[in-house]
Chains A and B, each alone.
Chain A
Amino acid sequence: MSFLVAAALALGAFVIAPVAAHLLRRGRAEEQEFPPAHLVPVAYRSARKKSRLEDRWLLLVRALLVFGLAIVGAVPFVRCSRLALDRDAGASVALALVIDDSLSMRTRVADADTRWEVALKGARDLLKSTREGDAVGIVLAGAPARLALAATTDLGVVRETLDKLKPADRSTDLRSAIRLAESSLKALPHVDKRIAVLSDFADDSGKLPDHALWIPLPELRQPSQNCGIAQARKEGLRVVVNVACTSSQAGKDRTLRLVAAKGPKPNPGGAELAKLVLKPQAGPQRLELELGEAAESVDAFLSAGDALPEDDYAPVAEVERAILIGVVADPATAAAQEGTATVLEQALNALTATSADGPSGEVRPLPLIPEDEKELAAYSAFIVDDPPGLSPESRTALEAWMNAEAGFAAAFLGPNVEAAQLGGSFEPFARGALTWEATTATSIADPTGFLGDAGASLKELAPRGRLQLAGALIPNSETILSWDDQSPWMLKRRVGRGQAWTFGLPVSVAQSDLALRPGFLALLERFLHDAAQAKGERVSDAGTTWRLSESDQTVEGPVGRLEATAVRNEEKTGSDRHVTPDLRGRYRIAAGNGDFHERIVTLDEAEILSQPTSIAETPLRKTTSRGPPSVEVSREFGLLLVALLVGELSLRLVSRLRLRNQNPA
């Protein structure tokens, strides 16, 4: 505190002055001449009493005025702790508020508010200090990072958006959020652009972008003790629960209970099925429990005892079977070596066996394309290589399967199209008479857009021929990839909940080296991923978007019904309905006919374990100096002083009028 501050604040001591003046004057009415005063009876006591009551307000106002002057004298040295924007020469500011809505932000801090509530309050405080001309945008840092509001100068909209924000159980994606904030500010004309990050920085995603960040609210980054259930799975009567604790202290005296679930809402009071005491150890631990009796639906609960109770509950998911992939390929032409599996099977096996992140599944070779829908019901994906046409029965079965079961079918069409049997056709992949033609085109144009870096290998295919798909497009087909002469090579078409993918080359290495390219594996992986997603994974992380089928009507979650959002589909032929569950728990998706199926939303184990990062220990420190987390209060105090002055004058005026009415002398 400088001398000036001390001197200014010492002015506050002058509050004593009006008090002393009041005490001296207290009870004394204004003196006036009155010749017959000797005839007036004395009524001293009641006069004093009335005067005291009347003067009290004036005393208060005067004391406040002196105090206010002292504070104004100390400004800008005196600051209050509310967050506010510090302006350079009063210029307008473009501000991106990065608000972390991950699970860790639901941790309670010292004064019983959660980090999320503290962050929201900080955001509102910042908003209060904005003024006309400032642009404010909101980015949410729960994974995946989202732009909640593009930067706008309409501060009312910003306020409304802040009011609508809700906490979530997502994992953290600060890195993407900051990049998103950067890009949202890029187009704005403001010179002064800032990114305020309201987060606990409990994020293991690596180094944050090297951008000038403002990181206020250090109370968000206080460490806390936490144990939480990441996932719980059931196989028969055996339940495996993954629990994570930040420290051994957090896991001490904690009990895991399994109870019978009842609907989407957590049911901690349900019948207890099993119980186990946690080991007091830091990090993840896998707990296995045996259910005493069979239960259709089970919830896992951890006894209370940490700062984040939201992760002490998890619905137990049934272990999901791997997706089944049907493959029809002629071993005689499509096998790499005689007597071995076809290239297609080998590729699919490789994908489903080795990919950690990709879909797990089982590849089942089929001699023929099934002609009954029921035969296909067990499959999630079906791939046919160089078929000599599809019989009407097969065609009907495939379309019904795609419609009803959200099946994904792919056809690699080759020279056999010219050997199509009588009555056979290639629908639902292509229509009309297809021709296999010689070609000079050697590469697929721009495959990386669809397949990523691996798609670059499709630029040199050296095919011996190709299928001419230009005249074979079924309405609502979309050309995804083309030859370098613009002739279509890959088509995609929605068929009900499923899709039909068509390729203008067979897998056979005798026709092209497609199967030898990494792009081929990328193609299959994309296909299987989309197929698995359409079929519906039963377990997903919080924040994962679900696409609802046409028959899905409502989604009921732990905190009530979720509203679906209509999003235009990829083919731009209509719109899909999406929901994004933010909170962990059991979700019931009901069809119009009363049937329903359940999905389970789980937590990211890393999100439970991650602790707030101390900013002082990160490289961000050097870039966080934009403005102090404080606000000048001169304007507020100035206005207060004016109000007090008006109050004093009003009181005086009222007193004078009363005196004039009562005392005409």
Chain B
Amino acid sequence: MTKALKSQLDWGSLVPLRLKAQTIAEGIWAGSHRSPRKGSGIEFGGHRDYVPGDDLRWLDRHALMRHGKLMVRQFETETDRTLVLLLDASRSMAYSSKRAPGAKFAFAALLAAALSKLALAGGDPVGIDWLGGDDLRPLKPSAGRETFDRLVDILEASTPGQGPDEAMLGRALARVARSAARGSVVVLLSDLLDLPGTTAEAFAALAAHNRTLVAVRVLDPVEAEFPFDEPVRLRAAESDAIVETDGQTARQGYLEALEGLARHWDEQLVPRGGRLVRATTTADPIAVVRDVLLALESRST
């Protein structure tokens, strides 16, 4: 099943994710000093569940005895930088036009892998969760070299599926809220097209606990430009609804609607210190990742 779905997704020239993400990360590092954090933090920041790969030095035996489960101690310097990637796995993310190097999902996965690489290289834990999709496996935030491999494996094995409804959205955001400790960074990678109407508000609500929010809107160039001039019949990915229109006549209205959607996200995120980064799949991934980092830096300043 997974293989069949995987074969349906147009990964195009965006694979292998490991190498591509490594290249992007190196592009980001180029010209800047490499300063991964060393050592442990100095201010205790709470406990969390142990996940394989965690440094055993921070395993808290007292907590094990008290709660009966493995827990690790966290310090303030680490919890601030936890990166939680929230990927939209709705069906619309599988869309790829002929002009694009691959599907939107593939591009989002590449961005996610590159961001993970950068975060992990800095010693920050990275986790992943999904909006929509069919039984996709989330990954709780963790650090360590093997985390990147596990994350890439998960990304490569994932394919878009059912879009999230309100309930699914609520559950996904609740998971994120739990795994993203105070000061975490939550990056949403989505086309923002087929999400429930309250998604922007619900996502913006994650800004509590000093979390930094960045939404990366990934669109196919055809979606971004609407380059039709002749009569077209357009079928929506999620609902199979068909719209018959004349390209020339409808372009302006469409672009305005698209921009209105982005403006809505901006309105929800910016007051909470968040940012919306606009990207198309033909864009340079390095530039997009840099935009995301800039958005994060502007938040911290």
Contacts and interface: CB of A to CB of B under 8 A. Distances in A.
A41 B228 CA distance: 13
Contacts of B95: 33-35
B64 to A, nearest CB: 48
A48 B237 contact: no
A42 B228 contact: no
Contacts of A662: 227-230, 247
B244 interface: yes
Contacts of A33: 95, 234-235, 237
Interface stretch (B42-50, B107-115, B252-260): B252-260
B178 interface: no
A3 interface: no
B223 interface: yes
A659 B230 contact: yes
B237 A40 contact: no
Contacts of B241: 37-38
A47 interface: yes
Nearest to B91: A35
B56 interface: no
A481 B217 CA distance: 120
Interface stretch (A23-31, A338-346, A388-396): A23-31
A32 interface: yes
B157 interface: no
A35 B231 contact: no
Interface string A41-68: 1111011101100100000000000000
A662 to B, nearest CB: 4
B235 A42 contact: no
B228 A28 contact: no
B245 interface: yes
A324 to B, nearest CB: 98
A1 interface: no
B97 A664 contact: yes
A29 B243 contact: no
Given A31-B233, A37-B243, A663-B232, A43 B250 contact: yes
Interface in B203-259: 220-223, 226-239, 241-247, 249-250, 253-254, 257-258
Contact of B222 (A38, A43, A659, A665): A665
B236 A38 contact: yes
A663 B98 CA distance: 10
Contacts of A48: 231
Interface in A644-664: 658-659, 662-664
A31 B238 CA distance: 15
B129 interface: no
A47 B242 contact: no
A664 B230 contact: no
A41 B254 contact: yes
A292 interface: no
A15 B160 CA distance: 46
Q: Which of B227, B231, B253 has the most CB of A within 10 A?
A: B231
A182 B253 CA distance: 85
Interface residues of A, number: 30
A33 B243 CA distance: 10
A664 B244 contact: no
A43 B233 CA distance: 10
Nearest to B94: A35
A50 B231 contact: yes
A39 B261 contact: yes
Given A34-B223, A41-B253, A664 B99 contact: yes
B220 to A, nearest CB: 8
Interface string B84-106: 00000001100101110000000
A36 B262 CA distance: 13
B80 interface: no
Q: Which of B222, B239, B242 has the most CB of A within 10 A?
A: B222
B234 A34 contact: yes
B193 interface: yes
B124 interface: no
Contacts of B78: none
Contacts of B239: 38
Interface in B19-43: none
A40 B220 CA distance: 15
A559 to B, nearest CB: 64
A107 B234 CA distance: 71
B230 A31 contact: no
A29 B230 contact: yes
Given A662-B229, A664-B97, A665-B222, A32 B235 contact: yes
Given A39-B261, A40-B245, A47-B245, A34 B222 contact: yes
Contacts of B257: 39-41
A29 B254 contact: no
B237 A35 contact: yes
A93 B91 CA distance: 74
Contact of A41 (B194, B223, B245): B245
A34 B235 contact: yes
B233 A29 contact: yes
A658 B95 CA distance: 22
Contacts of A664: 97-99, 221-222, 227
A35 B236 contact: yes
Q: Which of B194, B237, B243, B253 has the most CB of A within 10 A?
A: B243
Q: Which of B91, B254, B258 has the most CB of A within 10 A?
A: B254
Nearest to B95: A35
B249 A34 contact: no
B232 A36 contact: no
A30 B247 CA distance: 12
Contact of A47 (B98, B220, B246): B246
Nearest to B233: A31
Contacts of A40: 226, 234, 243, 245, 250, 253-254, 257
Contact of A50 (B92, B221, B246): B246
A664 B239 CA distance: 22
Given A38-B236, A41-B245, A47 B231 contact: yes
A24 to B, nearest CB: 14
Contacts of A34: 95, 222-223, 232, 234-237, 243
A642 to B, nearest CB: 30
A47 B244 CA distance: 7
Nearest to B238: A35
Contacts of B193: 35-36, 39
A44 B229 contact: no
Q: Which of A40, A44, A48 has the most CB of B within 10 A?
A: A40
B245 A36 contact: no
B253 A665 contact: no
Nearest to A30: B233
Contacts of B242: 31, 37
A659 B193 CA distance: 25
Contacts of A35: 91-92, 95, 191, 193-194, 223, 236-238
Nearest to A663: B228
Given A35-B95, A36-B254, A44 B235 contact: no
Interface of B: 91-92, 95, 97-99, 191, 193-194, 220-223, 226-239, 241-247, 249-250, 253-254, 257-258, 261
Interface of A: 27-44, 46-48, 50-51, 54, 658-659, 662-665
26 contacts: A27-B231, A28-B233, A28-B244, A29-B230, A30-B233, A31-B242, A32-B234, A33-B235, A35-B91, A36-B254, A37-B234, A38-B241, A39-B257, A39-B258, A39-B261, A40-B234, A41-B254, A41-B257, A43-B246, A44-B244, A48-B231, A659-B230, A663-B232, A664-B97, A664-B221, A665-B222
5 nearest A-B pairs in the assembled complex, by CB-CB distance: A47-B231, A35-B92, A34-B234, A37-B236, A41-B253
